[in-house]
Amino acid sequence: MTTAAPPAPTATRERHRRYLFDREGILGSLLLLPSVAYLLALVGFPLVMALIYAFTNITTGNPVLHFVGLDTFRAALSDPVTRTSLRNTVVFTLISQAIVVVLSVVLAFALRANFRGKWIARFLILLPWTTPIALGTIAWLWMLDSIFSPIDWVLSHVGITSPNSHMFWLGRTHLAMGSVIAVQAWRMLPLATVILLAGLTSIPQDVREAAEIDGAGFWRRMFGIDIPLLLPISAVALLFGLVFSFTDMTVVFVLTRGGPQNATQVLASWAFFKGIEGGSLGEGAAVAVFMFPVLAGLAALILRMVSRAEVS
């Protein structure tokens, strides 16, 4: 019993070109275009060029793309500093992030409660991250000074070390490495904590109350409910931290310039010294390219986590 449409004379069609901008698909592409074009030009293109440079012997003195196959790579690999950098980068990244993971969990749980003075505490705890990295590291440079370090002073006055002795935090191979790792952990801890804290507060209250009614005590609730529910967000945070630490050079550069004798050199800083300061762009690029496989793997992991979160 449907009513048929009454026969009507041919209706006029309005001109539609005027309303081009109201069409969703076209407008969407137009609005995205500037950003995508910019990023392609200033990120996509250099990324490709970085790979290409590694197969050339280009330098700032002679900026010609002269392909030399794997020669540059071979030169980089045979250089012992490159191998040291690779090893240092791995050590630096893994240990600093391990410290961050453990400490951030502790700190996040501690900060979950509300207490007097929380604002001040939060301010202080966030200082390493809110300060420009180079400036924070400069402060550490002074704190770890070979002669005037207050840490040395405290240690010798408390009796742990002999009076007026100096640790040479940045001068001895293993101490230098430890210092660099410690400063990196110091400056990445606040961000990880903040992210975990956000994850903690997003755990729905009724889930925790149900657990309490079911008889779970404090520790069981923490390990059985809080930590598993935190896992996704902390995994993403950890991956970010790994990517960042693996490819960063600021702390190393400001604290030790890669020394003593390349003991703290990492891939990123070595690429800088070779490519930018040294002008040997091809070699610098080859060193940087070593970062690429690990980076791609981590990025793929992050992608998978994010898309899984999307599904749920």
Partner 1 sequence: MAALGQTSRPGGGRRLRTSTRIYTVVGLFALIASFPFLWAIVTMFKTDPDLYNAKNNPFLYNQPPTLGHIRLLFQQTPYLTFVRNTVVIGALVVLITLALSLPAAYALARLTGRWGGRIGVLIFLVYLIPPTLLFIPLSRMVASMRLQDSIWSLVVVYPTFTVPLSTWLLNGFFKSIPRDVEEQAQVDGYSRFQAFVRTVLPLALPGIFTVVVFAFTLTMHEFIYALAFVASSDHMTISVGVPTNLVRGDVFFWQSLMASAVIIAVPVALIYNFFLDRFVQGFTMGAVKG
Partner 2 sequence: MAVVETRGVRKVFVGQTPAIDGIDLATKEGEYLVLLGPSGSGKTTLLRMIAGLERPTEGDVLIGGRVVNDLPPRVRRIAMVFQSYALYPHKTVAQNISFPLAAGGMAKEKRPERIKWASSLLGIDHLLDRKPRQLSGGERQRVALARALVREPQVFLLDEPLSNLDAKLRSSAREDLKEFQRQVGITTIYVTHDQVEAMGLGDRIAVLDKGRLQQLGTPHEIYHEPANTFVATFLGSPPMNLLEHDGALVGFRPEHFLPEPLVSERDGRVPFEYRVDRVEYLGSDRLVYGSIPAISPGTRVIARLPFTVTTPVNEGADERFAVAESSLRFFGLDGGERIPAQPFKLKGVSA
Work out which of 130, 165, 173, 261 binds partner 1, going by CB under 8 A: 130
> Within 10 Å of residue 259's Cβ, how many Cβ atoms?
15
CB 86 → partner 1: shortest distance, Å? 14
Site string for partner 2, 1-40 (x = CB under 8 A): xxxxxx-xx-xxxxxx--x--xx-----------------
- Identify residue 12 by its one-letter amino acid code: T
Q: State yes or no: residue 207 binds partner 1 (CB under 8 A).
A: no
Q: State yes or no: residue 81 binds partner 1 (CB under 8 A).
A: no
CB 297 → partner 1: shortest distance, Å? 12
Q: Judge whether 196 and 187 are in contact, CB under 8 Å.
A: no
Q: Judge whether 105 and 196 are in contact, CB under 8 Å.
A: yes
* CA atoms of 286 and 77, how far apart (whole Å): 9
> Within 10 Å of residue 65's Cβ, how many Cβ atoms?
13
Q: State yes or no: residue 291 binds partner 1 (CB under 8 A).
A: yes
- Region of 68 (left: φ > 0; alpha: ψ -120 to 50; beta: rest) is alpha
Site for partner 2 in 68-127 (CB under 8 A): none
Q: Which does 3 bind (CB under 5 to 8 A by kind): partner 1, partner 2, none?
A: partner 2
Nearer to partner 1, 2 or 205 (CB): 205
Check residue 54 and report its DSSP letter: T
CB 25 → partner 2: shortest distance, Å? 10
> Within 10 Å of residue 10's Cβ, how many Cβ atoms?
5
What residues line the site for partner 2 (CB under 8 A)? 1-6, 8-9, 11-16, 19, 22-23
